[in-house]
Amino acid sequence: MHRVELLPSILSADFAHLADQVAAAERGGGTVIHVDVMDGHFVPNITLGPPVVKSLRNATKLPLDCHLMIENADEFIPAFADAGANWVSVHYEACRHLHRSLELIAHHGMKPGVVLNPATRVNFIVDILPMVHHVLIMSVNPGFGGQNFIPFSLDKIRRLAELRQELGLAFRIEVDGGVAHDTIAPIVQAGADLLVAGNAVFGAGNPEHDARALLQAARKAAGE
Ligand code: DX5
Ligand code: ZN
C-alpha cells in the first residue's frame, strides 16, 4: 500500500553534532526524522523540546516526526507547530481527550498520529482511526533507545493492517523500538511501512552506512 520508509531517531545520535548526524542518516536513505520528546513524567527520561526542533528545522528539509511522550500535550502543540514540526503523535495513555488533541494537531497544520504503548490494545483506537495520518505502535516501553523488540508487537501491526483494509483507510503504520537487522523483516511483513530506528542507525558511529543497510533489508522484506 505504502512504500516502506526509514525514520532515523535522533535519540541515539550525538546531540553535539545533530545537523551532521541527520545529514548522514539522510544520505543513507532516511526520509523522515523521528524526534523523541520526553518530559520525565509520562516516561522516566528527559530529552528535548521546541527549541531543538526549531534548530533541526533549519538543518534539514526532511519532515520532522515529533513523538510526544509528555503529559499535557495540548499545551505544547502550538509551540511544536511554530518550531516547524510536520508530524506530531500523542500517546493514547497520556491524553485525557485524545480526539481533541488530534484535532488540535491538525488545526495547527501538522499531521496527527496516535501512539500505543505495548500494553495498550489496538481496538481502543478504532473510532479515531479516520482522523490520523499515522498510528505508532511502540514495540518497547517508551523512554530509552537500544531496548529489545517485544515480539507480540507483530500481532498488533497485523491487526492494525487488517483494520486499515476493512475500514478502507490509508493511515501509515509506524513502528518504534528495537527495529534492527534481526527484527526488520518480520516487522515489514506484518504490515508496517514507517520504520523508526535509533540505535541501529546511530549506535555504531556510521549512520549513513547503517541506515542504508537497514533500508535495503526492509525493502527486500517488502518485495520492493
Ligand atoms: C523510545 C523512543 C524511540 C527510540 C527507539 O522511547 O520512542 O524512538 O529512539 O530506539 P531504538 O531504535 O534504539 O530502539
Ligand atoms: Zn520514538
CATH number at residue 16: 3.20.20.70
Nearest CA to ligand 1 atom 4: 145
Question: What does the pLDDT look like over 70-114, one tens digit per residue?
Answer: 999 999 999 999 999 999 999 999 999 999 999 999 999 999 999
| DSSP H or E segment with residue 174 | strand 172-176
Domain containing residue 78: 5-222
Q: Supply the pTM of this predicted model.
A: 0.98
Number of structural domains found in the chain: 1
Question: What does the pLDDT look like over 27-57, one tens digit per residue?
Answer: 999 999 999 999 999 999 999 999 999 999 9
Per DSSP, the three-state class of 95 is: coil
Question: Which ligand 1 atom is the nearest neighbour of the CA of 139?
Answer: 14
Is the distance from the beta carbon of residue 8 to the nearest atom of ligand 1 less than 6 Å? no
- Closest ligand to C-alpha of residue 66 is 2
Which residues keep their CB under 5 angstroms from ion ligand 2?
Answer: 36, 67, 176
Band of the pLDDT at 1, cuts 50, 70, 90? Answer: confident
Which residue among 39, 65, 176, 193 is the active-site one?
176
Confidence check: pLDDT of 191 > 80:
yes
Q: What is the DSSP string of 116-149?
A: E-TTS-GGGGGGGGGG-SEEEEESS-TT-SSPPP
- Closest ligand to C-alpha of residue 144 is 1
